[in-house]
Structure 1
Amino acid sequence: MTDRRSFLIQTALAGAGALVAGAAGPLRAATAAAEPRWAPFAEAMVVDACGFLGDDEAKVGDPLTPRLIADARASGLRVLQTTVGPVAQYEGAFEATVRDIAAWEDEIARRPDVFLAVRSGADLERARREKKLGVVYQFQDSAPIGEKLERIDDYHRLGLRTVQLTYNVRNLAGDGCLEPGDAGLSKFGHSLIERLNQRRILVDLAHSGRRTALEAIAASKSPVLISHTGCAALVERPRNKTDAELRACAQRGGVIGIYLMPFLRETGQPGAADVIRHLEHAIQVCGEDHVGIGTDNLVSAVKLTEAYKRDHAESIRERRKLGISAPGEAEDVYLYVEGLNAPSRFETLAALLSARGHSDARIGKILGGNFARVMAEVWG
């Protein structure tokens, strides 16, 4: 496949701190330990609500290498919701999306011992039981649908199960998080949500403008996801959600996922303590039944080579030219979290949460139980 940064850059180009006082010390010590373990992990439902399999050397559509397959196995993930189709691009989006799905279908067919195509709640449980990686197709922009709502039926037959209404900028459905007008959901956006509800496809509000998110939550007859975000109450960034958005999502039965992205802190490279801080704030606002993890990261570890640094800086510059770069993106802040830069990051997070006093039941929900519950409810 490819890495998340290159995927989003290429598709767009085609169309155009520390925890509270007293808590930081123990957490830093735990983060430094070699791969902390959490005993129930092997049987847990582990869901990354937004993730990518690939590396910086791969091109879009390349088969997965043995190393990437090994990383997928080592991750312990049972469900990976991964992006197909372009962002910020309407022309040729349908064809590009079909190609992306076809590439993944070929990969799943090649390695049935590793992957499982997820279409329903039963598939989620089967992936957990058989210890395979269930693959869910998601859009990070409704642009591939264009103005043709009937395409939703076609995409559903091809396996699409989650649609993010907007990327960072305005589209036909509504305003993304970078639009200063924050005009909210369009008339077409209301019709789009209605059709998605009818087809039992999840609505995702990551990247959306704040008014768009609140209006979409109210409009949807089904629970929604905010698959990958942070908490604006901790770090004010357009990509992070306010307590009002988080609370509204939870009150309607939805789930929010905390990402492993630079927006978790004001400056510098984020660390495991930042992720825990945002998770704990989200639990406080939403309740433990409505919080999960959507890394927005590669499954594999980022190798901080000079080539990676150079490519990363170039991609940030390109995103700025395209108008899709969010405040908080920086050429010298990379797409990983210190202490969690390994395929085993979910088990490490579980161990860190356990060390903080969170119960095994709560940790199981956060690792993926909450996402799996809502996915099964909406997909059937």
Structure 2
Amino acid sequence: MSQNIVFDGLQISNWDRATLQEVQRGGIHGINATCAVWEGPLEAIRNIGDWFVLQRENPDLIKIATTASDIRAAARNGQVGVVLGFQNTSPFDQDYSLVEIFHTLGVRIAQLTYNIQNYVGGACYEPQDSGLSRFGERIVEEMNRVGMLVDLSHVGNRTSLDAVHCSSAAVAITHANPLWFADTPRNKPDEVMSAVTERGGIVGACLYPNVIGGAATTRESFCDMVVRLVDQLGVDHVAIGSDSTRNWEPSYVEVLRDGRWKPTQVAQWPRWPSWFSSPEDFPALANALSDQGLSDADLAKVLGENWLRLFETAFVPSRNVEMVK
């Protein structure tokens, strides 16, 4: 696996040197690292600042990456290329101009909604999906203009379809699975996956227990799903987004699930399967995908090259989108 670029489409961990070393030991050359979920603009800036400090204190381990070339350069230098991402548009508040500001700070990926309705549109756990709002259309257009990838992982299905058609650039589902694999609102129906991939986007197969059917799901079953997804969508449109959650206190799952919008309930992290509990399990996963029938060339695409190919266009400012007014 060492000769291939390996990129994980989503990790949301409580980062320190030891946690970063887990990523490195897993042979991972780049990650989409969540630096905001419910945070507003100021809190998100502080979180980005924490990444600047981590980079300064661990130059041997990480490099903040804003291009696909940065990720490749990090790999050559033995570093992990860290792409800063949001799992919500809450950092943009109600001001589209903040998209460019956060892009300038290094953010390259933003998920439109996280589980509940926001100013942009509907989310996967809402009983009714409003669709993409007028403000949401402006946010998507501005993300296209500056070169920020639209992520639809926790987004409602109607809003997702609206966003695909609104976007002038390819979009991604960085960390979710087909609904036919595990029946949960977080997973995606064929209609949404096809809409994303037919326009050049990618679906990142996810290992989070709640979207694979729980800890009892076998590695062989997961890998079979990935191979079926390759057959269904095409090998150029499937990747991995583990949703790895390392080094958190048990209470943080309550923050993720409830934010500030309802009283916190007692919540627990789901139990991960024995065959994937940390980024260090990536090599064994790669071997299992190979055993399941993926060729070396196809495996290289799924493990990372597909993400980098998408970033080569999605992170480039669009000449076809004028400044939002």
TM-score (norm 2): 0.89
**Could you say which residue in structure 1 is the equivalent of 2:311?**
375
* Secondary structure at the counterpart of residue 48 of structure 1: strand
* Secondary structure at the counterpart of residue 297 of structure 1: coil
Does 1:254 find its partner at 2:214?
Answer: no
Q: Give ranges in structure 2 of 5+ residues lacking alignment.
A: 317-325
**CA distance in 1: counterparts of 2:142 and 2:217, whole angstroms:** 38
Contact kept? 2:26, 2:279, Cα under 8 Å: yes
In 2 relative to 1, CA 165–268 (structure 1 residues): closer, same or farther, beyond 3 Å?
same
Shift in Å, 1:184: 1.1
**Could you say which residue in structure 2 is the equivalent of 1:84?**
35
Shift in Å, 1:346: 1.8
**Could you say which residue in structure 1 is the equivalent of 2:302?**
366
142, 158, 168: which one aligns with 2:115: 168
**Could you say which residue in structure 2 is the equivalent of 1:141?**
88
169, 172, 177: which one aligns with 1:230: 177
Q: Give ranges in structure 1 of 5+ residues lacking alignment.
A: 1-40, 56-63, 303-307
Per-residue deviation, residues 97-151 of structure 1 (Å, max 9, x unmatched): 1100001011111111111110112212212222210011111000110111111
Does 1:202 find its partner at 2:149?
Answer: yes
**Could you say which residue in structure 1 is the equivalent of 2:270?**
333
Structure 2 counterpart of 1:144, one-letter code: P
> How well do the aligned residues superpose, as a CA RMSD in angstroms?
2.5
148, 168, 173: which one aligns with 1:221: 168
* Secondary structure at the counterpart of residue 49 of structure 1: strand
**CA distance in 2: counterparts of 1:251 and 1:72, whole angstroms:** 31
* Secondary structure at the counterpart of residue 372 of structure 1: helix
In 2 relative to 1, CA 103–265 (structure 1 residues): closer, same or farther, beyond 3 Å?
closer
Per-residue deviation, residues 281-327 of structure 1 (Å, max 9, x unmatched): 32122111001111111367x9xxxxx7xx37x945983696789xx
Shift in Å, 1:43: 1.9
In 2 relative to 1, CA 155–264 (structure 1 residues): closer, same or farther, beyond 3 Å?
closer
**Could you say which residue in structure 2 is the equivalent of 1:157?**
104
Structure 2 counterpart of 1:333, one-letter code: P
Does 1:94 find its partner at 2:30?
Answer: no
Structure 1 counterpart of 2:295, one-letter code: S
In 2 relative to 1, CA 264–114 (structure 1 residues): closer, same or farther, beyond 3 Å?
same
Percent identical pairs in the alignment equals: 29
Shift in Å, 1:371: 0.7
In 2 relative to 1, CA 171–133 (structure 1 residues): closer, same or farther, beyond 3 Å?
same
272, 276, 291: which one aligns with 1:355: 291
**CA distance in 1: counterparts of 2:256 and 2:235, whole angstroms:** 38
**CA distance in 2: counterparts of 1:324 and 1:271, whole angstroms:** 35
Shift in Å, 1:271: 3.4
**CA distance in 1: counterparts of 2:185 and 2:33, whole angstroms:** 22
1:33-72 pair list within 5 angstroms: 41-54=1-14, 64-65=16-17, 67-72=18-23
In 2 relative to 1, CA 48–317 (structure 1 residues): closer, same or farther, beyond 3 Å?
closer
The size of the alignment, in residue pairs, is 314
**CA distance in 2: counterparts of 1:254 and 1:215, whole angstroms:** 15
Contact kept? 2:220, 2:292, Cα under 8 Å: no
222, 240, 249: which one aligns with 1:275: 222
Shift in Å, 1:82: 0.7
In 2 relative to 1, CA 117–333 (structure 1 residues): closer, same or farther, beyond 3 Å?
closer
1:2-13 pair list within 5 angstroms: none
Contact kept? 1:86, 1:96, Cα under 8 Å: no
**CA distance in 1: counterparts of 2:235 and 2:256, whole angstroms:** 38
Shift in Å, 1:169: 0.3
Contact kept? 1:261, 1:337, Cα under 8 Å: no
Larger radius of gyration: 1
* Secondary structure at the counterpart of residue 364 of structure 1: helix
Shift in Å, 1:363: 0.5
Contact kept? 1:137, 1:161, Cα under 8 Å: yes
Structure 2 counterpart of 1:181, one-letter code: Q
Shift in Å, 1:270: 3.6
Structure 1 counterpart of 2:158, one-letter code: R
**CA distance in 2: counterparts of 1:317 and 1:224, whole angstroms:** 27
Shift in Å, 1:48: 0.7
**Could you say which residue in structure 2 is the equivalent of 1:128?**
75
Per-residue deviation, residues 143-185 of structure 1 (Å, max 9, x unmatched): 1101111111111110010111000000000000011111211
238, 241, 252: which one aligns with 1:291: 238
**CA distance in 2: counterparts of 1:360 and 1:177, whole angstroms:** 35
Structure 2 counterpart of 1:290, one-letter code: H
Structure 2 counterpart of 1:78, one-letter code: H
**Could you say which residue in structure 2 is the equivalent of 1:17?**
none
TM-score (norm 1): 0.77
Shift in Å, 1:53: 4.0
Decide which moves more: 339-348 or 134-143: 339-348
**CA distance in 2: counterparts of 1:49 and 1:324, whole angstroms:** 29
Structure 1 counterpart of 2:227, one-letter code: E
54, 58, 68: which one aligns with 1:111: 58
Contact kept? 1:49, 1:80, Cα under 8 Å: yes
**CA distance in 1: counterparts of 2:258 and 2:216, whole angstroms:** 20
**Could you say which residue in structure 1 is the equivalent of 2:321?**
none
Structure 1 counterpart of 2:2, one-letter code: A
* Secondary structure at the counterpart of residue 207 of structure 1: coil
* Secondary structure at the counterpart of residue 109 of structure 2: strand
